[in-house]
Structure 1
Amino acid sequence: MNICPSAVVCQAVATGTMYADYYNMSVIPTHYRYAKNLTQKMLEDRMNSKAGLSSLNAVFLAVCCIIILENVLVLAAVFRNKKFHTAMFFFIGNLAFSDLLAGSAYIANILLSGPRTFKLAPVEWFVREGTAFIALAASVFSLLAIAIERYVAITKVKVYGSSKSCRMFLLIGACWATSVLLGGLPIMGWNCMGDLPACSAVLPLYSKRYIFFVVTIFSGILLSIVVLYVRIYLIVRSSHQEAASSPAYALLKTVTIVLGVFIACWLPAFIVLLLDTFCSMNSCPVLRRASAIFGFATLNSALNPVIYTLRSKDMRREFLRVLCCWGLLRGRGRHPADRCAVPLKSSSSMEHCTDRHEHQATPIMQECTTCV
């Protein structure tokens, strides 16, 4: 079997060191031709295509703009309202920031895809794809941090006190440090440059082993989160007779919905990436639809703020206050600007749960946070 499609391809891959080839403009066409099983004419047609933005990509661009606006709104709400300055809401803000990054990264991906891909140097291609992987990793690790915070809050009393708030920030910092490391592995050298048979068909400069490694890590983390939530659910059910209507149970339902939506949106993409490690483009035609599947996965970043809005009266009111202050909504009364500055007064059942249960011995009810 001939590994390289032509002598020219073999020569292009063999020349120079790996890092020197990061600026070699012939590398990307070479890898795309091999990984996607293109003829020279098909490759030239792709490179010289004058087609504009497709209708599907235009829809995805609009969705990404919505993602950015929604998650900026979440971050503004968490930042503005001191009532949300708790460990749980800081983790939610962290998830919102990763969703915002995901929307921005996908916009860049769309605008730099198609024929523009072949005008990129490999280092630029790695930055384009690596940013998306960093955002995905940050989302997964944020969900893990939320699960850990819920488990600690359920089993212990006031772990995140003022003297231990550094734990929360260390966890958030570790989330991003690990995400940047995972997303940056290909640009640091774990790629398939110089080894065409090891290349992914969906992401032609990425090694199949790297993609399998990342998907395995993410799947393991999501499975761990599910296990944590099952344990939390069992603790909640066994801790109090009114657990089914307790604020802690309501909070558990919300974060479980967030996790379920993430899995539903990203599962097809994970399956495609796993298939990519074992199949060629011809053996698995679904790989040709990878862009649309990844676009569907990005919808997850737009759904999280919707979940917060539907599940929390506090968050809904704070969103409206932020929109009012931005001038996007007209406040009622003569002084809408003054109304925007009024501190949030919640009627949520979560607000008074500490007062109602402060004398109970059950750990689950001794620390309450606003339901999200």
Structure 2
Amino acid sequence: MGRRRLSFASSIRARYSGNTSAAGSQWDEEGAAIFDARATGSSLAWPDHLGGKSADAFAGGRVADPRVRIVRRGRARSGRFSAPIRGGGGGGNASLELSSRTPAPAALNPWDVMLCVSGTAIACENALVVAIICYSPALRTPMFVLVGSLATADLLAGLGLILNFVFQYVIRSETVSLLTVGFLVASFAASVSSLLAITVDRYLSLYNALTYYSERTVLCVHTMLAGAWGVSLCLGLLPVLGWNCLRDRAACSVVRPLTKSNVTLLSASFFLVFLIMLHLYVEICKIVCRHAHQIALQQHFLTASHYVATKKGVSTLAIILGTFGASWLPFAIYCVVGDPDYPSVYTYATLLPATYNSMINPIIYAYRNQEIQRSMWVLFCGCFQAKVPFRSRSPSDV
């Protein structure tokens, strides 16, 4: 092996013969050649069997100090060479692997794996809800249209997380990655907007209980959904149409390639939606308590069943709003106060809980509903349990 290394080194030295000291070249005891082209200002040429390209061409123009160490690995017939590029004052080491084999894939980030797993679970859960609503003709009321919109948005968000993982580790392209980020922004924005539309629908079903089941309500629901999806689509197109930091790294936010101003707009929009939902749920609680008080006055006392129902309704509203806030608030706040120089683990640690909201939504808004439970039995078993009553429920039945 020693002879082989010396022979290889000798061949390279002979190839670049002349006065090797004039070019600043030196030879180590392992038979490796270290060339320093700075002394002559010339570009280092590679042997013909490596393509005859310059070291700068192999390094992609990233060589701060054109000092290249060529080390032969393995046997002569293996055809594998490694050329670590040793920079001058940058301190970072890059490695250039020249091989006839396919390059080894990048090491998997555990956070990216968890996001992909979360996206898979989200897609499976919400795909089932969308299938049930599309399969059952009885689920055509405004409430279920809104639930279907929420499930569709969460389904797209789950698929976006899976595609982001695939394009990050399998198909690497800045353009495709930018499209994926825009797709995720639009999907999560549609999910949050659908939650707001469901909250407005629940409030209207209590505030205008006598006129809720009318054509006006259907028109209102369709208008809300058109506005929600239209705004979400616009937010998703912003980074694709140029509002990104691919050409200006200094403008990047904690979520690359989104700019700081872009994530600030998204966070401000979320805070506005959260405040509106908080106000509406407070109003819903007031209406529920007022209805319970009126029932107590008519019956001269508040029965235990009404008290339990009222308490359960308020508790459910608190759980819904608390889950939504706990999922999204940390990420929205970090997007505003975070710096792109912070470790990426902070971004992952706040983004992952936000995806869990799309995983919890079908449990809160769909699987707890008796009509959807009955439709699941019909879809999978062709029958339904007689114990499950089938009755039309309003959005106020929380």
Q: Using structure 2 for the length normalisation, give the TM-score.
A: 0.64
**Shift in Å at residue 237 of structure 1?**
0.5
Q: Call closer, same or farther: CA 1:201–1:236 in 2, change over 3 Å.
A: closer
- Residue in structure 1 matched with residue 76 of structure 2 by the alignment: none
Q: Call closer, same or farther: CA 1:214–1:199 in 2, change over 3 Å.
A: same
Matched-pair contact (CA < 8 Å) for 1:74–1:319: no
Matched-pair contact (CA < 8 Å) for 1:68–1:104: yes
SS state of the match for residue 261, structure 1?
helix
**Shift in Å at residue 201 of structure 1?**
4.0
Unaligned runs of 5+ in 2: 1-59, 61-89, 98-102, 296-305
- Residue in structure 2 matched with residue 198 of structure 1 by the alignment: 251
Distance 1:162 1:217 in 2: 30
Judging by fraction of residues, say which structure has more strand.
Answer: 2
> How much identity, in percent, do the aligned residues show?
28
Unaligned runs of 5+ in 1: 1-25, 27-37, 325-336, 354-367
Tell me whether 1:152 sits opposite 2:225 in the alignment: no
Distance 1:265 1:43 in 2: 40
**Shift in Å at residue 316 of structure 1?**
2.7
Which of 73, 92, 104 lines up with 2:159 in the alignment? 104
Matched-pair contact (CA < 8 Å) for 1:254–1:307: no
SS state of the match for residue 243, structure 2?
coil
> How many pairs does the alignment contain?
293
Distance 2:269 2:135 in 1: 35
Provide the aligned C-alpha RMSD in A.
Answer: 3.3
Which of 361, 364, 389 lines up with 1:347 in the alignment? 389
Which of 98, 123, 127 lines up with 1:68 in the alignment? 123
Matched-pair contact (CA < 8 Å) for 2:252–2:340: no
SS state of the match for residue 112, structure 1?
helix
Which of 174, 180, 205 lines up with 2:233 in the alignment? 180
**Shift in Å at residue 133 of structure 1?**
0.7
- Residue in structure 2 matched with residue 320 of structure 1 by the alignment: 377
Distance 1:112 1:320 in 2: 38
Tell me whether 1:275 sits opposite 2:337 in the alignment: yes
- Residue in structure 2 matched with residue 136 of structure 1 by the alignment: 188
Which of 76, 80, 94 lines up with 2:135 in the alignment? 80
Matched-pair contact (CA < 8 Å) for 2:203–2:396: no
SS state of the match for residue 128, structure 2?
helix
Matched-pair contact (CA < 8 Å) for 1:308–1:315: no
Judging by fraction of residues, say which structure has more helix.
Answer: 1
Q: Using structure 1 for the length normalisation, give the TM-score.
A: 0.68
- Residue in structure 1 matched with residue 260 of structure 2 by the alignment: 208
Distance 2:333 2:185 in 1: 16
Matched-pair contact (CA < 8 Å) for 2:281–2:317: no
Higher Cα radius of gyration: 2
Give the counterpart letter for 2:118 in structure 1.
V
Q: Call closer, same or farther: CA 1:179–1:302 in 2, change over 3 Å.
A: same
- Residue in structure 2 matched with residue 263 of structure 1 by the alignment: 325
Which of 261, 283, 291 lines up with 2:348 in the alignment? 291
Give the counterpart letter for 1:263 in structure 2.
G
